[in-house]
Structure 1
Amino acid sequence: MLKSIRILLSIATSLDLEIWQMDVKTAFLNGSLDESIYMMQPEGFIEKGQIEKVCKLQKSIYGLKQASRSWNIRFDQTVKSFGFIQNPDESCVYKRIKGDKLVFLILYVDDILLIGNDVGVLTSVKEWLAKQFDMKDLGEASFILGIQVIRDRKNRTIALSQASYIDKILSRFSMQDSKKGMLPFRHGIKLSKEQVPKNEHEEQFMSRVPYASAVGSLMYAMLYTRPDICFAVGIVSRFQSKLGPDHWTAVKHIFKYLKRTRDNMLVYSGGDLIPVGYTDSDFQSDSDSRKSTSGAVFTIGGGAIIWRSIKKSCIADSTMLLHARLPKRLLGSANS
């Protein structure tokens, strides 16, 4: 879905489309149930002599395992009845084309993004949605999935920023006062499963280190707007069980780099809507398995839409064989 949002934002930048946002209030209460589900009576609603009775749910409620799916089915059926067509590759993306009027609709749980080339048509879609569900109109999109959207229509640019999120994770892992790093990964550093704690002191230290949580926080930034840390995060994420101080130092180095580059943004500059891809690979760089790491980035409209850094599943005997297999493998993994 992130790929689709970035692609559509790039298209919107290039074609100067409107980008509006809406929120569905209590979305999960809109779903219908196909099963018979019973629940205990809510506290304060039990009548005298009726204490043994239970309630049969007529609609979906928060807490049900099928609540999110019920809501999604209801929304899907509703928007399709208004002429929207679901994207076969990305089920959360819909489009409606009538003549030269185009509308894209993106749903993420209860957040809706509307992108189109006609204000009147977008307004009618927004009003129609408000009649179907209890909605909140958020106007022009300024935040998408926690990402700040900074638009300059005069210069045809859209920038995506996670500066506030970076500040949050720096504070969470006590890195807000650290020195600023020049690169996300130091040249010449080789991490290995053999770099385990050497003594009891290091073992006790590593037992208190929130390694998995820190890597997960970095991965969130990497997946959304920071392709520049993709390789570094990919390396440190390989070590979740057998790890030592050297691995933690590498993680902290990524945080230091993010502190220096917190204001870096993913920018779409309204260029040609022609996909351009770049791929490359090292050769047997993994110290433990001798496997290679491949990377790729694809751009549209001057900005990155997909990026990957992947450790190969097999050991390549030569760089020729490695590069021959590279494009297909990376393209096949670029569907998220």
Structure 2
Amino acid sequence: MSRSPLMPVFDGHNDVLLRLMRGKIQPEKAFLEGDNIGHLDLPRMRQGGFFGGFFAVYVPSQDMGIDVDALMTHREYDVLLPPALDHAPSQQVTVHMASILIRIERASKGEVKICRSAADIRDCLDHGKLAAILHIEGAEGIDPDLYMLDVLYESGLRSIGPVWSRPNIFGHGVPFRYPSTPDTGPGLTERGRELVKACNRLKIMVDLSHLNEKGFWDVAKLSDAPLVATHSNAHAVCPHSRNLTDEQLAAIRESRGMVGVNFATSFIRPDGQRSDDTPLEEMIRHMDHLIEHVGVDGVGLGSDFDGATIPAEIGDVRGLPRLVGAMRQHGYDEATLRKLCYENWISVLERTWGR
């Protein structure tokens, strides 16, 4: 009996570039040949049906000596956020990580493509290439006058989250707090508003996943593009500060936007715990809620591979077929599965970037 073909998956968020930057093996070699570390490399992506996604450039903060894993096993927690980063070293790390993706594309001999249009993504799907979107998670590497934004755009940048959870010159992120609403402080700064306007002009997607609620509504008022949260879940299911309220989901639906379901267990579980002993059914509860409030055309996957504790049933990218199987068993038909796994991402990027 022949095996059914893998369902293609396009993913809203991963942190493999940070893992490769910190690794001991040449990054492009580790990625293209496979290093079996973390969640992602090209050989394992092929095995799991992963054909593309958003590759995040994220500037890490210094270790503050906090055991976050232990803290997030408490019934309630509020992770202390690191301070704002200096611009010059952040820019250096941003360029370094963007260069890793560019070098992977060059070394892949056509197997990996940095996509600058939805047509590029469709071409990758048709021809078995890995489609990579250059994304920034936290804009510390971008200067106040946005000169670096132009440089990164010409290098392929097509998606940006103005903040990670720590504050920067563009705005304030949402902390890792449970239980909590996402209404945790001030939103965008004036420079943040200018960044959103510049992204609209360049047709760079603005990612809302790490913005707090005030920042979310600031973007909603300013932006003429679909509202997109690349890796976020439903606050009504898990009352974590990182998750989206039904009011936010309604705004995303109104804009014909998108939410990518985050695999990070602390944003999935109703108790907010970071534990890989999290059934896939808990993820599907979020999918059901998001489909109810955003619509079946506005929901996808946003794994946070290589950046989070994910359910043991998935394990790494090779476990995506198990997730798809659980979604199928739950009752999603094949047309719905295609939308959730990849079609909706391509469609929202067409609406954001143009074709």
Fold conserved (TM > 0.5)?
no
Kindly indicate which of the two structures has a greater share of residues assigned to strand: 1
Kindly indicate which of the two structures has a greater share of residues assigned to helix: 2
> Which entry has the higher C-alpha Rg, 1 or 2?
1
TM-score range for the pair, normalised by the shorter chain length: under 0.3
